[in-house]
Structure 1
Amino acid sequence: MMANRPAIVTKVEVARSIAAAISAGLKIGRVEVDHRAGLVVIVPEGSPDDSGGNPCDRLLKK
């Protein structure tokens, strides 16, 4: 049984980060959350780092 502990990255922090990116005019391609390090990474749409998850989706966009 695991002990309850507070989240390092909360749902509210992720929502605020996404809302800030959108209000700055960023089109979001992907959001990564690293709970161990406490990081929220937002990758813009069309970025070279935006691998898209499913390789078939990338092929169909071409």
Structure 2
Amino acid sequence: MPRKRPTFSQTDLTRALKATKAAGLKVGRIELTDDRIVIHSASDAPAGPDSTYDTWKAKRDARSA
């Protein structure tokens, strides 16, 4: 089954991000679905690491070389 094309383009995403930054908001995360772009501000993002990958990366970078 062929993959369905999104109804928005990369240009639409770029415009949405620029508008968010122009409004004075920090981008916390972006959710993309087939028919919409959802931008969450940084204040909506969790305070701690976003994922298990971020936790692993923080521990890995904390080791002395």
Normalised by the length of structure 1, the TM-score is 0.65
Q: Using the alignment, how far apart are the partners of 1:6 and 1:28 within structure 2?
A: 25
The one-character-per-residue Cα deviations of 1:31-55 (angstroms, maximum 9, x if unpaired) are 11112xx1100000021xx246414
The list of structure 1 runs, each at least 4 consecutive aligned residues, that deviate by more than 3 angstroms after superposition, is none
User: 1:2 deviation in Å?
Assistant: 4.0
TM-score by length of 2: 0.62
Q: Identical aligned pairs, as a percentage?
A: 23
How many pairs were matched up? 53
Larger Rg: 2
Q: RMSD of the TM alignment (CA)?
A: 2.7
Give the structure with the higher percent strand: 1
Greater fraction of residues in helix: 2
